[in-house]
Amino acid sequence: EVRLVESGGGLVQPGGSLRLSCTASGFTFVNFNMNWVRQAPGKGLEWVSFISSGITTTHYADSVKGRFRISRDNAKKALYLQMSSLRADDTAVYYCATEGFDDWGQGTLVTVSS
């Protein structure tokens, strides 16, 4: 069974940084591209970032480009999202998802507020 578990969310002040993690199990992580998607409270879905299985390719939404960095550790079966210069509009539940968006984690809430 595929399992994705996000962690690292919490309350952070505007301008601060946070690193999210997503640990994977139940599939061969090293073979899969991965994504981050977020959802602001009461709002729709927003794709955030993509990383290829071999870590050679990354893509970002314009709203986070230059502030967020996606990475992965295939040996640890882990996906990361380093977020910096956080703003109030980054407040959202952040989900990790497999390349085809077939499988999603339960999400971790990031709140940016003073």
Partner 1 sequence: EIVLTQSPATLSLSPGERATLSCRASQSVSFYLAWYQQKLGQAPRLLIYDASKRATAIPARFSGSGSGTDFTLTVSSLEPEDFAVYYCQQRYHWPLTFGGGTRVQIK
Member of 5, 77, 104, 111 binding partner 1 (CB under 8 A): 104
Strand order of the β-sheet with 58-60 is: 10-12, 108-112, 92-98, 34-39, 45-51, 58-60
Binding pattern for the stretch 66-95 against partner 1, x by CB under 8 A and - elsewhere: -----------------------------x
Label residue 68 exposed, middle or buried (CB < 10 Å: 0-12, 13-18, 19+): buried
Tokens of 112: 């940016």
Site for partner 1 in 3-62 (CB under 8 A): 35, 37, 44-47, 50, 59-62
Q: Which residues bind partner 1 (CB under 8 A)?
A: 35, 37, 44-47, 50, 59-62, 95, 100-102, 104-107
